[in-house]
């Protein structure tokens, strides 16, 4: 008991000394600290909050603007329009040209919510327009947009595109934003012009999430593009000088009685300036609230100081001592350490129980992760057998890919791209345990594309995947090894074969089924059952066998024995591999 008292003494005497020093000071000094120092800190925190929220909002705009520019490149980089126009120049069939171009525009821009309307014309016949609208647009809105484009936008496009070269022009017409891009021949002469109306609510809609937002103005290369609540921006005296700083860092400024956040970004070759007007009342009210609360606290805290001290010592200091000691034990590596009950209040009793539960859970997680790492060891060893530097390999594949594209060998290009996806998935440089089902399916698609080049018409693949499950988190690389096993053991050596991939929801579970032609023999079933037994050590295995074994072990480790992989024959003479994980 004496040891406990002595152990508590330093904290108790430190608390007594702190209270004496604080409350012997004149209330006037305390008032000064509360009224001015705390207010200044709140002002600083408010400024940081505004700047951070504005910077995040502008970053979102910048990313969406970059995405819109990248999407516009599809018309240039994909060969559809160029080839259709070349065919038109040969056979002079305008109906086929219109069909191909309209289909391309609809496929690439009709479902992209960053664009309201997209127009394309060929430079040798600018009066002939190819036009598509976002799928959510009404017929009346589409008609108005086409008329507005013809009357207001087209003259500016005709004026701009001859000197545009490969750049992207961004212009504002009647408070609407348009992006203009040339489609170039191999000799860098424009043969077509793409014009897209940006959806301001999507591309720049994040600006209104800024703390204290009251309005905004957007400038491109110093010229006003669009904005709202322009009256709130009238107090800015030198907008050109402000935007001329090319200041990528978001800053807060005050001019007159108004507050503004601003930043200048450069996506591509253009400077885009963002100015966000702030609600002055929201900015300054925080300071007044702090001052009033501080005054009330000073008036009521004086008579309560000794009560607080007694309560603190009895209800807080002693229980905290036990928690600190237990924390040191955890820090030293004694996972699973349990606190002996020392609490004299319901809250600290709960904290002690929660700590004990957390400590036990931590020990369990450490053991579980260690076990899972052992399960992944074989797969990682196979991935590490290649001594080629991953960055060098990716760069080499990228160079080969561009060479294939330059020579218009798109099959080779796609194979390289899909091989890169498989390599990235195998190397797993970010060491993620889980990915979305959508990303997992991208690995499957990449593998199927590569393997389809090997088998050609011998292999038929059918997929029925519930896209509503795409955002569900699943363990990484659990489907592709099953597909590989189906190819190697069900298709390889056959004249023709079929694989069916099904992904669906079953109660609270996510189910993946892979069906392939060909039944397993009795010997194959025994081998599969041995592979799917966690305790078995089957020795040297092929990549496909090792893959399904590790898939099953990882699922058991993560979700428990009721989930996992089964491989059986069905009544239709097919082999069915079924993965079940928690939804």
User: For the domain that residue 546 is a member of, what is the CATH number?
Assistant: 3.30.565.10
pLDDT in tens, 423-434: 776 666 677 788
Distance between CA atoms of residues 306 and 311, nearest Å:
9
Q: Retrieve residue 180's tokens.
A: 């203009």
In 3D space, the residue among 556, 552, 579, 547 whose CA is nearest the CA of residue 378 turns out to be 547
Region 343-360 average pLDDT: 75
In 3D space, the residue among 43, 36, 37, 40 whose CA is nearest the CA of residue 212 turns out to be 43
pLDDT in tens, 148-161: 888 889 999 999 99
How sure is the predictor about 218, in pLDDT bands with cuts at 50, 70 and 90? confident
pLDDT in tens, 331-340: 777 777 787 7
Distance between CA atoms of residues 239 and 219, nearest Å:
10
In a domain, 42, yes or no: no
Residue 105: HSE in the Cβ half-sphere, 13 Å Cα cutoff: 25
Picking from 136-150, 182-196, 347-361, which range would have the lowest pLDDT averaged per residue? 347-361
In 3D space, the residue among 24, 11, 34 whose CA is nearest the CA of residue 302 turns out to be 24
Distance between CA atoms of residues 38 and 290, nearest Å:
8
Residue 250 near residue 242 (C-beta atoms within 8 A): no
Residue 327 near residue 45 (C-beta atoms within 8 A): no
Mean pLDDT (the chain, rounded): 78
User: Is the model's pLDDT at 441 over the cut of 60?
Assistant: yes
In a domain, 239, yes or no: no
User: Is the model's pLDDT at 124 over the cut of 50?
Assistant: yes
How deeply is 572 buried, as exposed, middle or buried, from its count of CB atoms within 10 A (0-12, 13-18, 19+)?
exposed
What pLDDT shows up at residue 485?
Answer: 87
- Residue where a domain terminates, one of 171, 202, 233: 202
Please provide residue 73's backbone torsions phi and psi, each rounded to the nearest 5 degrees.
-70, -15
In a domain, 439, yes or no: yes
Please count the other Cβ atoms lying within 10 Å of the Cβ belonging to residue 212: 21
What pLDDT shows up at residue 381?
Answer: 45
In a domain, 442, yes or no: yes
- Residue where a domain terminates, one of 184, 202, 220: 202
In a domain, 386, yes or no: no
pLDDT in tens, 182-192: 999 888 899 99
In a domain, 89, yes or no: yes
Picking from 15-24, 62-71, 273-282, 460-469, which range would have the lowest pLDDT averaged per residue? 15-24
- Residue where a domain terminates, one of 134, 167, 202: 202
Name beta bridge partners: 261.
252, 276
Q: Quick one: DSSP state of residue 261?
A: E
What's the length of the chain?
A: 583
- H or E, element range at 509: strand 509-517
Region 471-486 average pLDDT: 90
Q: CB under 8 Å to 48, separation ≥6 — which residues?
A: none
SS3 570: coil
In 3D space, the residue among 128, 177, 108 whose CA is nearest the CA of residue 169 turns out to be 177
pLDDT in tens, 370-388: 666 656 555 554 444 443 4
In 3D space, the residue among 423, 427, 457, 459 whose CA is nearest the CA of residue 443 turns out to be 423
Interaxial angle between packed helices 318-331 and 2-24, expressed in degrees from 0 to 180 and rounded to the nearest 10 = 110
Q: Are strands 473-475 and 497-506 parallel, antiparallel or unpaired?
A: unpaired
SS3 481: helix
In 3D space, the residue among 98, 124, 131 whose CA is nearest the CA of residue 185 turns out to be 124
Distance between start and end Cα atoms, the chain = 53
Q: Which domain holds residue 194?
A: 73-202
**Cα angle at 264 between 262 and 265, to 5 degrees?**
135
* Continuous H helices in 244-389: 280-301, 305-311, 318-331, 346-384
Q: Retrieve residue 358's tokens.
A: 């957390």
In a domain, 219, yes or no: no
Q: Quick one: DSSP state of residue 515?
A: E
Q: When comparing pLDDT for 39 and 217, which is higher?
A: 217
What pLDDT shows up at residue 429?
Answer: 64
How sure is the predictor about 486, in pLDDT bands with cuts at 50, 70 and 90? confident
DSSP states of 516-564:
EESPPPHHHHHHHHHHT-TT----S--HHHHHHHHHHHHHHHHH-TTSE
Q: CB under 8 Å to 245, separation ≥6 — which residues?
A: 264
Domain of 163, CATH number, reads 3.30.450
Phi-psi region of 175 (alpha: psi -120 to 50; beta: other; left: phi over 0): left
Q: Retrieve residue 388's tokens.
A: 């080629």
How sure is the predictor about 471, in pLDDT bands with cuts at 50, 70 and 90? very high
Please count the other Cβ atoms lying within 10 Å of the Cβ belonging to residue 31: 14
pLDDT in tens, 264-308: 877 667 778 888 888 777 666 555 666 666 666 666 666 666 665
In a domain, 542, yes or no: yes
**How many domains does the chain fold into?**
2
């Amino acid at each position: 008991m004496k040891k406990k008292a002595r152990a508590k003494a330093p904290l108790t005497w430190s608390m007594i000394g702190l209270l004496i020093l604080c409350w012997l000071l004149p209330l006037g000094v305390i008032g000064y600290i509360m009224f001015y120092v705390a207010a200044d800190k709140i002002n600083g925190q408010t400024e940081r909050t505004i700047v951070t929220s504005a910077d995040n909002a502008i970053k979102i705009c910048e990313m969406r603007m970059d995405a819109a520019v990248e999407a516009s490149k599809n018309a240039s980089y994909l060969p559809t329009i160029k080839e259709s126009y070349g065919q038109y120049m040969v056979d002079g069939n305008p109906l086929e040209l219109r069909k191909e171009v309209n289909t391309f525009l609809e496929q690439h821009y009709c479902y992209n919510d960053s664009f309201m309307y997209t127009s394309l014309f060929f430079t040798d016949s600018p009066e002939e327009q190819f036009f598509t609208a976002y799928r959510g647009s009404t017929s009346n809105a589409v008609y108005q947009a086409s008329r507005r484009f013809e009357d207001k936008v087209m003259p500016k496009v005709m004026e701009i595109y001859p000197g545009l070269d490969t750049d992207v022009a961004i212009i504002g017409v009647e408070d609407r934003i348009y992006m203009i891009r040339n489609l170039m021949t191999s000799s860098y002469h424009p043969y077509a012009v793409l014009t897209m109306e940006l959806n301001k609510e999507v591309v720049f809609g994040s600006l209104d999430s800024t703390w204290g937002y009251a309005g905004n103005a957007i400038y491109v290369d110093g010229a006003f593009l669009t904005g709202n609540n322009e009256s709130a921006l009238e107090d800015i005296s030198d907008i050109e000088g402000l935007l001329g700083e090319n200041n990528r860092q978001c800053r807060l400024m005050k001019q007159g009685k108004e507050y503004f956040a601003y930043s200048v970004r450069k996506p591509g070759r253009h400077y885009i300036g963002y100015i966000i007007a702030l609600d002055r009342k929201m900015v300054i009210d925080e300071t007044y609230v702090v001052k009033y609360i501080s005054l009330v606290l000073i008036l009521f805290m004086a008579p309560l100081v000794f009560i607080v001290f007694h309560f603190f010592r009895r209800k807080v200091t002693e229980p905290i001592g036990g928690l600190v000691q237990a924390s040191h034990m955890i820090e030293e590596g004694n996972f699973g350490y349990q606190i002996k009950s020392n609490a004299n209040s319901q809250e600290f009793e709960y904290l002690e129980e929660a700590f004990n539960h957390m400590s036990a859970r931590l020990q369990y997680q450490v053991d579980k992760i260690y076990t899972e790492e052992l399960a992944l060891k074989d797969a990682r060893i196979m991935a590490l057998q290649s001594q080629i530097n991953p960055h060098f390999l990716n760069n080499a594949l990228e160079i080969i890919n561009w060479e294939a594209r330059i020579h218009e060998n798109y099959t080779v290009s796609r194979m390289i791209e899909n091989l890169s996806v498989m390599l990235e998935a195998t190397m797993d440089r970010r060491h993620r345990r889980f990915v979305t089902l959508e990303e997992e399916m991208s690995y499957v698609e990449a593998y199927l594309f590569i393997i389809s080049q090997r088998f050609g018409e011998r292999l038929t693949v059918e997929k029925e995947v519930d896209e509503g499950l795409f955002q569900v988190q699943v363990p990484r690389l659990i489907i592709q090894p099953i597909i590989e096993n189906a190819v190697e053991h069900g298709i390889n050596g056959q004249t023709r074969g079929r694989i069916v991939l099904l992904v669906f929801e079953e109660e609270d579970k996510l189910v993946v089924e892979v069906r392939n032609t060909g039944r397993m023999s009795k010997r194959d079933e025994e081998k599969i059952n041995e592979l799917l037994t966690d305790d078995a050590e089957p020795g040297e295995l092929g990549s496909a066998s090792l893959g399904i074994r590790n898939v099953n072990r990882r699922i058991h480790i993560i979700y428990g024995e009721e989930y996992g992989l089964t491989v059986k024959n069905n009544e239709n003479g097919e082999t069915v591999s079924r993965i079940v994980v928690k939804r």
